[in-house]
Structure formats: C-alpha cells, structure tokens
Structure 1
Amino acid sequence: MNYKIQKFPNSRIASIDVCEVGKQKHHVTGLLEFDVTDSRKKIKGYNNTNNHKISFTAWLISVIGYTLKKYETSSAYLLGRNKLMIFEDINVSIIVEKDLKGTKVPIPLIIERANEVSMESITAQIAEAKNEEFTENDIILRKKTRQWEKVYYSLPGFLRRYFWKFILKHPKLAFKKMGNVAFTSIGMIGKVNGWFIPISVHPICFGVGSVLKKPTVIDDSIEIREILNMSVLMDHDVLDGAPMVRFICDLKENIEIGLNL
C-alpha cells in the first residue's frame, strides 16, 4: 500500500471551521444566468482606450457593491433576535489563490468600500494580492498571524467553531474581520459548464462561475451569447423573498447593460 501524508497550512483549518458554521446559516440560494456579451465588449473597448486596465472580476465586484448599496439590508448582520446592523460600506471578501511551497492555497482579501472605489483600484488590489509573497504564518492577506490566532489553531474543533459563532453575534467584529459580502470565483481559474454553491457565514455570498457561449433567444431569434453562471446565497434571517427578487432583477440589469463602462 503506497501513500503519502501532506500537511496543509494552518489557514486551511479556519476554512474548515467557516464551512461547518456556514452550513447552519439560513441561506436561500439562487442559480442565475447573466448575458454579459455586451458588457465584455465594453470592457475590452475600455481597456483599449485607457491606460489603467480593468478586469471582468473587478468590474463585477464594483457592480455588486453598487447594487447592494441600494438594497442595504441584503448585506446586514443579524443583531440579537430582531434587529439588523446595517453598515454604510460594502466590504467584499474575495478569494485569492496563493502559492505556498508548491501548493495552491485560497486566502481571503477584503475589498473595502466596493460600492465607492473605482474599478481600476479593485483591479490593482487583486493584482497586488496575487503577486504578494505569502507564508504559512499568514491567515489574512497582508497580516501576520497574531498571538491569539496562533492559540486558535491549537484549540479543539468545537471551541474554534464557537469562536466563529461569537464573531457572528458581534456584527462590528464580523464586519472588521471579514466584511459583509463574500465573493468567490472559479471563473478566475478555469471554465466549468455549470454552477457551484459555496458555503459562507456572510449575509450574502456570490459564487461566480465561468462565462460560456450558449444559444440564447434575443428578440425571437436565436443567437450565440456569452453567458455568466452565478449562484447567490442570501440570508433569509435579514432579507425577505420579495426584496431578494427585486435585488436580483436590478443586479441582472446592471450586469447586462455594463454599468459604469
């Protein structure tokens, strides 16, 4: 019997705990398709005429931030039994894949004020994060592990998960630590025909898939269009069904018209 044992970095322990706690959230999941043909053309045209380039991912985060600001309860945290804590800013936690001694490790990066900062700034932040050196002593990008975080890794599982539950009961701490929106994209890695449903402890989470060419009905004619697959997890504790639908409709319109391009 041949096998090998491979140790994963400590940051992976936190990911496991987040998934375990996230499964207890009352998320409603939507599997969506967006026609991004025109938007991608606009991004290409924008990059051909501007020195500061923007990426499709950065533009998408910007559109999500802008739309969420109109539906601010979508990214609110539950406070106690019957109150919401609504933050003025939309801080988006995205996953950046880093190389650690030959192993690809997903590490979160917080895009602060995604509802206000420029698409160029978001593009630059993502690029900088990808190129930044990373060691196993990092739990959050650009921050070294603090002493209490080192203690966290040594705790048994039930205590580590209690730590995350404690954070969620204290929205100010949760917002400071991980923002109020999660964004993860497999489309940044490769093309997959389908949807994936992430697990998150955030009030709202976006699972962005690949952009694929598909036949679509446009004005009673069939055309080949570029379609983005996306899943959206929305916390039913802070948002009712009708506002969910209105938010999705506005998000669809903003994505498909190429908002701010």
Structure 2
Amino acid sequence: MKPFPTAGRLVADVGWMSRRKNNVRGVLEIDVTVPRQLMRAHEESTGESVSFTSYLAYCIGPAVAANRYLRAYRDWRGRLVLFDDVDITTMIEVRQDGKEYPVGHIIRAANQKTFRQIHNEIRGSRRAAVHATRSHG
C-alpha cells in the first residue's frame, strides 16, 4: 500500500472545510492580451518567467479594496464584519517526482503589495511547498 501524499491530504482537507462555506459563482471575461505580451517580452529580455497568478492578484487586490463590502461577511449573530485587507486564496501547482500537486496559499493584504512582492511570495511558497513535500511526503 502506498501512502497518500501530504499535498493530497491538504487538498482533501481544504475541500472538506470549504464545503460549509457559501460559494459565489459568476462568469467573467477579461482580455489579457496586453499583459501576456508584456510578460512574454519580459521573459525574452530577462529570461525570468513571471507569474500570471501574481498579476491577477495584483489587479484584484486594489479592485476589491475599493468596495469595503466585497470583503465583508455576516457573523452568526447577523452582524456585518468588515476587513481592512484583501486576502486572496489561490492554488499553486507543485511538481514533485514528475507529478503535479495543488497546494493552497493565501496572499495576505494583496491590496497593499506590489506586483513584485506578490510574485516573489508565490514563487517562495512554491519552493517551500516542494521542500515540505520532500521532507514529509
């Protein structure tokens, strides 16, 4: 019998915990032609691949911060709880032993960070997740 990977347990736990949350669904169409062109040009000139997830988080943070009620929820007594910061949860793919595993990551205060800070945080969390799965998986 083969042990269940640590990253797989994390994904299963997140799924179990989120089943009680209220989900909001919607359809959104965004033209990302220009950002993709800029990212390709940056990679060609520097050799560095930048994270598209970082770009999205960088755009979403200030947009959500512009409306305080987008980052609020009602507590069990019906009171409105408002937050100062925009936290963005994302899944990051981690490759280990030729397989890819999704690992959850929360970008705290995304509305107060630069694109470079978010990019470095995501890349760093990917390296940390690879290290953790090698040590524990």
Q: For the structure 1 residues 78 and 137, does the alpha-carbon distance in structure 2 shift closer, same or farther, using more than 3 Å as the test?
A: farther
Q: 1:63 deviation in Å? A: 0.6
Q: 1:108 deviation in Å? A: 2.0
1:76 to 72, 89, 102: 72
2:83 to 87, 98, 108: 87
Q: For the structure 1 residues 18 and 108, does the alpha-carbon distance in structure 2 shift closer, same or farther, using more than 3 Å as the test?
A: closer
Larger Rg: 1
Partner of 1:201: none
Partner of 1:112: 108
SS of alignment partner, residue 98 of structure 1: strand
Q: In 1, Cα distance between the equivalents of 2:50 and 2:99?
A: 28
Determine which structure has the larger strand proportion and give its number: 1
Q: In 1, Cα distance between the equivalents of 2:94 and 2:23?
A: 28
Q: 1:53 deviation in Å? A: 7.3
Give the TM-score taking structure 2 as reference length.
Answer: 0.73
Q: 1:102 deviation in Å? A: 5.4
CA contact (8 A) 1:77 1:86 kept: yes
Q: 1:30 deviation in Å? A: 0.6
Determine which structure has the larger helix proportion and give its number: 2
Residues 132-161 of structure 1 deviation map (CA, whole Å, 9 limit, x = unaligned): 3123777xxxxxxxxxxxxxxxxxxxxxxx
2:136 is equivalent to residue 134 of structure 1: no
Q: Which blocks of at least 5 consecutive residues in structure 2 are unaligned?
A: none
Q: In 2, Cα distance between the equivalents of 1:100 and 1:53?
A: 20
Q: For the structure 1 residues 24 and 64, does the alpha-carbon distance in structure 2 shift closer, same or farther, using more than 3 Å as the test?
A: same
Q: For the structure 1 residues 11 and 127, does the alpha-carbon distance in structure 2 shift closer, same or farther, using more than 3 Å as the test?
A: closer
Q: In 2, Cα distance between the equivalents of 1:84 and 1:137?
A: 42
Give the TM-score taking structure 1 as reference length.
Answer: 0.42
Residues 66-93 of structure 1 deviation map (CA, whole Å, 9 limit, x = unaligned): 1110122222233123112221111222
2:51 is equivalent to residue 38 of structure 1: no
- Paired positions, count: 134
Partner of 1:125: 121
SS of alignment partner, residue 124 of structure 2: helix
Q: Percent identity?
A: 26
Q: 1:42 deviation in Å? A: 4.1
2:24 is equivalent to residue 28 of structure 1: yes
Q: In 1, Cα distance between the equivalents of 2:42 and 2:99?
A: 35
